[in-house]
Structure 1
């Protein structure tokens, strides 16, 4: 596992962004969420965090899937919002 930096670098000249993924409660959702977070981390220059983030996203999606359990309410939306 990669050593995580104690503090991520902050670039005050770049605007902050927030990303949101809404997806159905199906097995493929974990893969979509992993790929989204990996792509965002790579695009923002944080490749050392990709493996850890993929693992954590998988755990979160699995926990939500078992807790919510509503496969009959599909929602798929990805939004990019300026913070």
Structure 2
């Protein structure tokens, strides 16, 4: 066994974006996250980060009245974990609960396709007051090395 295998993993870095709940915020948040993943050494995750961030932040804008949209990103050597918070702690629709003829409602299926893992976490105790929809993108090439 080499000493590199015994070394603890590199610490992750945490970043936060806060923007008003406006129609332009999904684009601004998406561009922020793409710049972040590229500048932290994960350019191959940029496309998935762009798509998933756009979908989740757009859902917050369209379906909630939260005054600010908060996006947190945790970046490590192998992955990027993103959480988008809102003040509407209702369960998410099941994957595939949309009709082909509908223009909306396909975002969670896209996240399911592009993210390595995703879900929702509810906050506030027995009667939740907010939730975070999160997704994780993993660098599979680095993981295999």
TM over 0.5: yes
Alignment check: 8 A CA contact 2:18 2:71 kept: yes
2:49 pairs with 1:53: yes
After TM superposition, where is structure 1 displaced by more than 6 Å over at least 4 residues in a row? 76-79
The Cα RMSD (Å) is: 2.9
Count residues with an aligned counterpart: 67
1:1-83 matches, cutoff 5 A: 12=9, 15-70=11-66, 73=67, 75=68
- Structure scoring higher RCO (CA < 8 A, sep ≥ 6) equals 1
- Counting strand residues as a fraction of each chain, which structure ranks higher? 2
* Structure 2 unpaired stretches of 5+: 1-7, 73-145
Q: TM-score, normalised by structure 1?
A: 0.63
The aligned residue for residue 6 of structure 1 is none
Pair 48,33 (structure 1): closer, same or farther in 2 beyond 3 Å = same
Pair 68,77 (structure 1): closer, same or farther in 2 beyond 3 Å = closer
- Counting helix residues as a fraction of each chain, which structure ranks higher? 1
Q: CA offset at residue 28 of structure 1?
A: 1.1
Q: CA offset at residue 16 of structure 1?
A: 2.3
